Amino acid sequence: MARRKSKEKKIYVLDTNILLHEPFAFLNFQEHDVVIPMTVLEELDHIKDRNKDVSRDARVAIRALEDVLKDASPDQMLQGVPVPRQGEQKQGGHLIIVNDHHITDEIPGLPGGENDHLIINTALYLQKEKSPTKVILVTKDINMRLKAKGAGLKLVEDYRTDQLIDDVRFLYKGYYKFSGDFWSQVGECRSENEGRETYHYVNRSVLPNAYINEYLIDEAEGFAGKVVAITDKEIRILDFGYERLMHRHAWGIHPKNVYQAMAMQALMDPNIDLVVLTGPAGCGKTLIALAAALELVIEKGMYDKVIVTRNTPEIAESIGFLPGTEEEKMAPWLAAITDSLEVLHKTDEHPHASVNYIMEKANIQFKSVNFMRGRSIQNAIVILDECQNLSAAQLKTIITRCGEGTKLICSGNLSQIDSNYLTAVTSGLTYIVERFKNFEGSATINLNGVVRSRLASFAETNL
């Protein structure tokens, strides 16, 4: 869906997956008309009663449609009901319900009974009947977009209103690396000491696109700092010192590269409420997050417990009906956490006993994302692992559960998305990285480089 306003009115035909992805999507098409085929309503009806998280989105979409259409007559629904205007929008489009079961088959080469084909057929019918008005099918199903074009539909698009970037390569990394030496590029600056900390004030032109809590390093490995304040004229930088940053540690773990060091600094900073760790498999995201959590809970006593959660393979839907507690059912999906605990205590005299003791001492709880809705988590560290498979709505649910004194750590690898509904640019992980990059209570670090083993490093770059 195009983001820019156009004087030429268009007709957008929505697929079911658009309303499941964003239940209020039909309100975001500015002055253009939106068509919902009857087949889409039937699919929403079949989905709404399932014991799935996506069923909630279906119910929300149905209620949102009903709010717009509740006072409309059958004729008005077919002609179009005005859509409520959004923000400063002067003119809104119309919402139209089309009974696609009565439309003559426009694509005889495809089976008529499949829902996708019925929706494509509706778009083709409107393309012919409403010419020269442009008719655009909007769907997140790549194969459906290909079939629609093959069937003769001229305009087919993905839904991109909530897509903050077009290419994941341009995703905010959380740090800026100066080429060469930092000081040679800064020029004049003034510095001041506040207790044990040193701050530098540099001209805004040195880093015009700086963000709060953005880390700064250089290729010469002589400087490491963080942006702590931004004005129209200058940037305030907290100087860590490269060597001091590299010598940070948590629960006996020392960083193996500067990216892990920056991540550790963000994790241990009590002023940071949200830490987002991205990067390839084997870069140490889970291990560093868990080590920092144990340090903050047990050694420093800043938090009461550690809650570990992640989505299960069925898009965070069900954890099954077999006997066992929630922790026991979630244990297989959280093996990465138990593996990391074993690594942290492998040198102990009785590693297995140490792991059990630490889990009890730190009050580590394994929870399902499915049961996070409605909770209010106070004074805890929440580790959300593998969150690249969560949608923006699911991540919002978890973030809004965090109460006073809670720190949230989100980690994920955008090249390992298993969800059928998401891509790297539409993942909830990408969404929160971009949305929170200028929030003073958050920090993002992209951990470059695989440190697990030379085998994992070779596989990451060559397979």
* Count of all residues that appear for the chain in the document: 463
Lowest mean pLDDT among 170-174, 297-301, 447-451: 447-451
Handedness of CA 145, 149, 152, 157 (dihedral sign): positive
Query: What per-residue confidence (pLDDT) applies to 324?
Result: 64
Confidence check: pLDDT of 299 > 50: yes
Residue 424 near residue 430, CB atoms below 8 Å: yes
Percent of the chain with pLDDT over 90: 40
Query: What per-residue confidence (pLDDT) applies to 422?
Result: 77
- Classify burial at 110, counting beta carbons within 10 Å of its beta carbon; exposed 0-12, middle 13-18, buried 19 or more: middle
Interacting residues of 207 by C-beta distance below 8 A, sequence separation 6+: 176, 216, 227, 235
Q: How far apart are CA 418 and CA 107, in angstroms?
A: 32
Q: How far apart are CA 313 and CA 275, in angstroms?
A: 24
Query: What per-residue confidence (pLDDT) applies to 397?
Result: 81
Lowest mean pLDDT among 104-118, 203-217, 391-405, 439-453: 104-118
- Structure-block tokens of residue 254: 């020392």
Q: How far apart are CA 311 and CA 131, in angstroms?
A: 45
User: What is the distance, to the nearest Å, from the Cα of residue 367 to the centroid of all Cα atoms in its chain?
Assistant: 19
Lowest mean pLDDT among 284-293, 364-373, 436-445: 364-373
Lowest mean pLDDT among 43-57, 303-317, 377-391: 303-317
Q: How far apart are CA 176 and CA 52, in angstroms?
A: 41
Name the residue among 406, 341, 415, 408 with its Cα closest to residue 369: 408
Confidence check: pLDDT of 336 > 80: no
Confidence check: pLDDT of 321 > 60: no
Confidence check: pLDDT of 318 > 60: no
The identity of residue 51, as a single letter, is N
- Structure-block tokens of residue 367: 């929870």
Confidence check: pLDDT of 5 > 60: no
The model's confidence at residue 316, banded by pLDDT at 50, 70 and 90, is very low
Residue 275 near residue 439, CB atoms below 8 Å: no
The model's confidence at residue 2, banded by pLDDT at 50, 70 and 90, is very low
Dihedral of the CA atoms 15, 20, 24, 25 (nearest 10)? -40
Beta strand pairing call for 224-230 and 215-218: antiparallel
Query: What per-residue confidence (pLDDT) applies to 436?
Result: 93
The identity of residue 32, as a single letter, is H
Q: How far apart are CA 210 and CA 205, in angstroms?
A: 10
Say how many C-beta atoms besides its own lie within 10 A of residue 321's C-beta.
7
SS3 label, residue 176:
strand
DSSP state of 163: -
SS3 label, residue 11:
strand
Residue 236 near residue 228, CB atoms below 8 Å: yes
Residue 212 near residue 230, CB atoms below 8 Å: yes
Query: What per-residue confidence (pLDDT) applies to 339?
Result: 75
What's the whole-number mean pLDDT along residues 74-83? 88
Maximum average pLDDT range among 65-69, 74-78, 369-373: 65-69
User: Cis omega (within 30 of 0) on the bond before 37?
Assistant: no
Query: What per-residue confidence (pLDDT) applies to 224?
Result: 95
Name the residue among 121, 112, 94 with its Cα closest to residue 37: 121
Name the residue among 25, 19, 49, 16 with its Cα closest to residue 115: 16
Q: How far apart are CA 147 and CA 118, in angstroms?
A: 12
Q: How far apart are CA 225 and CA 176, in angstroms?
A: 10
241-253 pLDDT tens trace = 999 999 999 988 8
What spatial distance separates the first Cα and last Cα of the chain, rounded to whole Å? 34
- Structure-block tokens of residue 397: 């649910």
SS3 label, residue 364:
strand
Q: How far apart are CA 229 and CA 238, in angstroms?
A: 9
Percent of the chain with pLDDT over 70: 85
Lowest mean pLDDT among 215-229, 254-268, 364-378, 428-442: 364-378
What's the whole-number mean pLDDT along residues 425-439? 89
The model's confidence at residue 3, banded by pLDDT at 50, 70 and 90, is very low
Query: What per-residue confidence (pLDDT) applies to 245?
Result: 93
Lowest mean pLDDT among 107-121, 333-347, 376-390, 410-424: 333-347
- Structure-block tokens of residue 114: 């499949």
Confidence check: pLDDT of 410 > 90: yes
Interacting residues of 164 by C-beta distance below 8 A, sequence separation 6+: 425, 430, 431, 434, 435
Q: How far apart are CA 329 and CA 317, in angstroms?
A: 13
- Sequential DSSP letters for 122-156: HHHHHHHHSTTSEEEEE-S-HHHHHHHHHTT-SEE
Confidence check: pLDDT of 382 > 80: yes
- Structure-block tokens of residue 184: 């040679």
Q: How far apart are CA 268 and CA 139, in angstroms?
A: 42
The model's confidence at residue 345, banded by pLDDT at 50, 70 and 90, is confident
The model's confidence at residue 317, banded by pLDDT at 50, 70 and 90, is very low
The model's confidence at residue 371, banded by pLDDT at 50, 70 and 90, is low
Average pLDDT for the chain: 84
- Structure-block tokens of residue 253: 């773990």
Query: What per-residue confidence (pLDDT) applies to 332?
Result: 60
DSSP state of 23: T
Q: How far apart are CA 77 and CA 94, in angstroms?
A: 9
